[in-house]
Every structure is written in structure tokens, then in C-alpha cells.
Amino acid sequence: MNQIQNLIDINENPFVLFNKWYLEAKKKEINDPNAMTLSTISDQMLPSSRVVLLKSYDLEGFVFYTNINSRKGLAIKKNKYVALNFHWKSLFKQIRIEGVAKKISKKDADKYFISRPLKSRIGAWASNQSSILKNRKELEDKIKFYNMKFKRKIIPRPTFWTGFKVDPNLIEFWQDMPFRLHDRVEFNKIRNK
């Protein structure tokens, strides 16, 4: 059963409010409070959604990383408009974001890549995200290959792996309320022409 929530303050800065809810989720959500659904549209105008991890955020947007040759990477290349959704079941809250995905700088991508665990860096080289494998052994063999290739070396970021920052046009905050009379506040960015 839901706890009684205070109504969302429509005068709050949406980035400040996101930060408050995210910090609350980091304390209370059991697994992956940074998990968000990313939705893209293919060149055939078909929607596709998957869960990715938020790695950073600021007043300019929300950052995740991927292989740019993956289904999501190729979709973003053709259509930069995406949607994100955070659902924190334990908080009875969710945040929906619509915006424009833009590649982050090579410097920022390199900085994040080198901070990843060794096996995750090897995995970025070995995995052709969204492609079909003959069998699991094919991936395991590629992991062995890159482990040997980069043995005792600094593992560089692959050129096909980077981050995207979603610059929001819309941020909607939603929280569960008694009797399904939920509270929802939508913030829209007014862009100068």
C-alpha cells in the first residue's frame, strides 16, 4: 500500500527535483536506482525500448554509454529524439524524459571508459552489441583474444563505444497517490529561436 506523498512542487527547478528523487532512490531502491528505460525509433518508424544505466547527469542532461553500432546507437544516429523513463517501485515514483541524444566529447568518454572495471573494458571490445552470435563460445573466444591483446597494456576506448547525453525537452514527475488519483507535473523546455 502506498504511503501518503506530498504533492509535487510545480515551482521547483526540475533538475533539482530530479536530484532529490534520484538521491532518495539511491537510498531505498534495492537494485540499480540508475536503471532507466531508453526508447528510440528505428528508420522504419518502429519503437524499441531497453534498460540502460544512467552514469551521470547535470543541468544539460542525462548520460549513458553504449556501442554506437548497437541497435540503439544506430537508431540514435538516424533519429536523435529519444525518451527515458525511471521507475522506482519502492518509492511509488517515476520520471519520464523526452529529449535529444547527443554524443559526449571524446575526452569525457575516455575518462569514463578508463574508470570502468577491466573486464567491462574488455567486454566493450569483445561484444558486438545487438548482433547475432553463432553461439556463446564466439563471444568467449573474443574475450580471450582481447585479454591477450591488451595484457599488461592500457586498454583504449574503442572508437565505436561512447556516451550520449540526453538534453531534455520535457521532464515529467509522477507519483502514486491514493485511489489512483496520482500526482503528475510536466516541465517543458522553452527554446530560444
Q: What is the 3-state secondary structure (H, E, C) of the chain?
A: CCCCCCCCCCCCCHHHHHHHHHHHHHHHCCCCCCEEEEEEECCCCCEEEEEEECCEEECCEEEEEEECCCHHHHHHHHCCEEEEEEEEHHHCEEEEEEEEEEECCHHHHHHHHHHCCHHHHHHHHHCCCCCCCCCHHHHHHHHHHHHHHCCCCCCCCCCCEEEEEEEEEEEEEEECCHHHCCEEEEEECCCCC
Phi and psi at 111, nearest 5°, equal -60, -45
Among candidate residues 71, 96, 121, 180, the one labeled active-site is: 180
Phi and psi at 167, nearest 5°, equal -85, 110
- Told to judge if 121 belongs to the known catalytic residues of this protein, a careful annotator would answer no
Which residues are catalytic, by number?
180
